[in-house]
Amino acid sequence: MTDHGHDLKFGSFVTPSAQSADRVVELAVTADRAGLDLVTFQDHPYQASFLDTSTLLAFVAARTERVHVSANVASLPLRPPAALARAAASVDVLSGGRFELGIGAGAFWDGIAAMGGRRLTAGQGVDALREAIGIIRGIWDVDAPGALSHHGRYYDLAGAKRGPRPAHDIGIWVGAYKPRMLALTGELADGWLPTMEYLERGVATLAESNARIDDAALAAGRSPGDIRRLLNVMRVGLSPVSRGPLNGPVEQWIDELTFLALEHGMSAFLIGGDDPVVTRRLGEEIAPAVREQVVRERGGEGGVTAA
């Protein structure tokens, strides 16, 4: 059992389709009005049919009132870390502390290279991400003395000015699947953000991956509870009868999400599918019921507040 007692968060994973821009924004507004905690968008700058995610995040933050926004996840090879840090802090300030930073080492390298990005191996991508996280936090640390310099293998900063200061402690959530990325997550990140459909053995993979993160956190002198566990689930549906995981009646959703929270420590659920009905019912019916059931199973404790 790997429940770390985090407060539960629920959100949507919206496709940033340029051809349906108004609908994309309306889905985010629906999530906000339904009481969801997060609205996230995939980030593929080389995909011409998608809106630019960094621009979309700022626009959605301006159109919503309480929901937090994040890339899911930002493509580091096309988002230089110092500039990404400034953009993140800027949206956080403008939104009153409602930005989180989902980030990944990169994928779809042909597309990245076509856009002028550097093509890296998987191992190089992990090393570049390690450097980038340090730079991002350095830009945010406006109380540190002097400018930020970093002379690494992948990034070189010669006295970058720090700031702006984020409005709240922005979480850095890493999309990770392989052992080195999972270890980096446990060592440095504030959250782990995988997609259920990309896990080799689905739910069965969660325990093994969580253990790698926990071991890395302990080796780095951290508590495993320092890392929030988030989960994207894309193939979902609401129907009178069960048709698979998170594809069935509301009661099935409540039981399955409660199980993932208590048995695998997943404390944030981001639902794909771009269905406004699912979005509304997730916020208005499912999320409150899951929270109530988890609190009851935890023995009435309210849980730990985490970014």
- Predicted pLDDT of residue 6: 97
- Predicted pLDDT of residue 2: 79
- The per-residue pLDDT for range 243-254, each reduced to its tens digit, is 999 999 999 999
CA distances in angstroms from 288 to 149, 222, 272, listed in the order given: 46, 31, 19
Alpha carbon 134 to its chain's center: 18
- Quote the percentage of the chain above a pLDDT of 70: 97
Residue 1 — very low, low, confident or very high, per pLDDT cuts 50/70/90?
A: low
Calculate mean pLDDT across residues 34-58: 98
Q: What is the three-class DSSP state of 6?
A: strand
Instruction: Name all domains of the chain by residue range, CATH numbers in brackets.
Output: 9-297 (3.20.20.30)
Residue 305 — very low, low, confident or very high, per pLDDT cuts 50/70/90?
A: very low
- The per-residue pLDDT for range 51-75, each reduced to its tens digit, is 999 999 999 999 999 999 999 999 9
- Predicted pLDDT of residue 301: 53
Residue appearing with tokens 């009851």? 296
The pTM of this model reads 0.95
Enumerate helices (H) and strands (E) in the chain, giving the number of each: 10, 13
Residue 202 — very low, low, confident or very high, per pLDDT cuts 50/70/90?
A: confident
3-state secondary structure 277-302: HHHHHHHHHHHHHHHHHHHHHCCCCC
In this predicted structure, the answer to whether residue 307 has a pLDDT above a threshold of 60 is no
Residue 74, phi then psi, degrees to nearest 5 = -60, 135
- The per-residue pLDDT for range 95-139, each reduced to its tens digit, is 999 999 999 999 999 999 999 999 999 999 999 999 999 999 999
Q: Is the peptide bond before 69 cis (omega within 30 degrees of 0)?
A: no
The rounded mean pLDDT for the chain is 96
- The per-residue pLDDT for range 258-304, each reduced to its tens digit, is 999 999 999 999 999 999 999 999 999 999 999 999 999 998 754 44
Cβ atoms < 10 Å from Cβ of 108 = 13
Buried b (16+ CB within 10 A) or exposed e, 206-237: beebbebbbebbeeeeeebbebbbbbbbeebe
To 5 degrees, how large is the angle CA 210–CA 244–CA 196? 30
Eight-class DSSP state of 142: T
